Amino acid sequence: MEQNKIYLIVGLGLLGGKYAKELSERGFTVTAIERSEERLQFALEHGYISRGKSADFTDLIQEADHIVFGLYPTVFIEWVRQWGKYIQPGCVFTDVSGVKTGLVDTIQQLLPEGVEFIASHPMAGKETSGVENSDKVDFSTANFIITPTEKNTPQAIAWCRELAETLGFRHITMLTAAMHDHMIGYVSQLCHAIAAALMIAEDNTSLAEYTGDSFRDLTRIARLNDKMWAELFLWNKENLINQIDQFDMALQTIKKAMEDDDREKLERLFQLSTKRRALFDKKQ
């Protein structure tokens, strides 16, 4: 990537902060817009950014060759509505949002002539948040998904891929927004719904001393950034409700086999589970 380009990070959250850190370390000029003075200060002191502002930041927008939006979807849309007009022609930018349908189109329609939004999702979130924790994020084991629309140019897609390569992602791939949201409903949001349901189901505090690896593994992600996950769940509501229903049918199948004392059926279900999980290990 061209090192003389200026990267603007909007929102120094966990991922925005990590982009800033990685890009600065690789010699790019990185600026930031962030509401919290504390976070700006942290990013400046740690050399993640060279300049940052919480207000009067139109100059930072105008100077940016590329922008990375690390905002929640609704905040992202509001931001572009208000400040999008200051983005200069030639600017190509991306985001880190975990949902795409309804978001990417909306943003693309709001943009001035000559400005391009190529959406992407770095699957590297953790149970922590904020730029203060960005150094705990590991891109080298994470997937990076680019979700282009018909409006995107090959040049913008190539830039986004190059950005992911520069940041060291393990696996870079492309999906439509719809496929992305279906996939993410299953491999991420459904898992978080399940982990939360496990904690909500029973006042389990007295059982904590007895838990083994399996319970710990299943509920590690039950510490949820409530505002972010409420947003992601509602944004991907249709997919996620569908996934919950499908999951529930599978769980009811297991329950039914137990009620019927159908040992063979249970064994067949477990064999299917084992077979699929084994295949999945090979694909890793």
* In the complex, least distance from residue 151 CB atom to a second copy, rounded to whole angstroms: 24
How many residues form the binding site for a second copy (CB under 8 A)?
A: 89
Which listed range, 16-24, 46-54, 55-63, 275-283, lies at the site for a second copy (CB under 8 A)?
Answer: 275-283
Decide: residue 80, CB within 10 A, 0-12 exposed, 13-18 middle, 19+ buried. Answer: buried
Smallest separation, CB 181 to a second copy (Å): 12
> Closest CB to a second copy among 4 and 282?
282
Nearest distance, CB of residue 245 and a second copy, angstroms: 8
Residue 214 interacting with a second copy (CB under 8 A): yes
- Interacting residue with a second copy among 8, 107, 177, 195 (CB under 8 A): 195
Positions in 158-187 near a second copy (CB under 8 A): 171, 173, 183-184, 186-187
Scan residues 19-38 and list those touching a second copy (CB under 8 A): none
The reply on whether position 202 binds a second copy by CB under 8 A is yes
Q: Please give the residues from 220 up to 249 whose contact with a second copy meets the rule CB under 8 A.
A: 220-227, 229-231, 233-234, 237, 240-241, 243-244, 246-249
Q: Residue 229 CB, nearest distance to a second copy (Å)?
A: 6
* Interaction of residue 205 with a second copy, rule CB under 8 A: yes
120 near a second copy, judged by CB under 8 A: no
Interacting residues of 181 by C-beta distance below 8 A, sequence separation 6+: 99, 100, 101, 236, 239
CB of 14 to a second copy, least distance (A): 14
Write out the chain in H/E/C secondary structure: CCCCCEEEEECCCHHHHHHHHHHHHCCCEEEEECCCHHHHHHHHHCCCCCEEECCCCHHHHHHCCEEEECCCHHHHHHHHHHHHHHCCCCCEEEECCCCCCCCHHHHHHHCCCCCEECCEEEECCCCCCCHHHHHHCCHHHCEEEECCCCCCCHHHHHHHHHHHHHHCCCEEEECCHHHHHHHHHHHHHHHHHHHHHHHHHCCCHHHHHHCCHHHHHHHHHHCCCHHHHHHHHHHCHHHHHHHHHHHHHHHHHHHHHHHCCCHHHHHHHHHHHHHHHHHHHHHC
CB of 32 to a second copy, least distance (A): 26
283 sits near a second copy (criterion: CB under 8 A): yes
Is 149 near a second copy (CB under 8 A)?
no
Indicate the residue among 59 and 270 with the shorter CB distance to a second copy.
Answer: 270
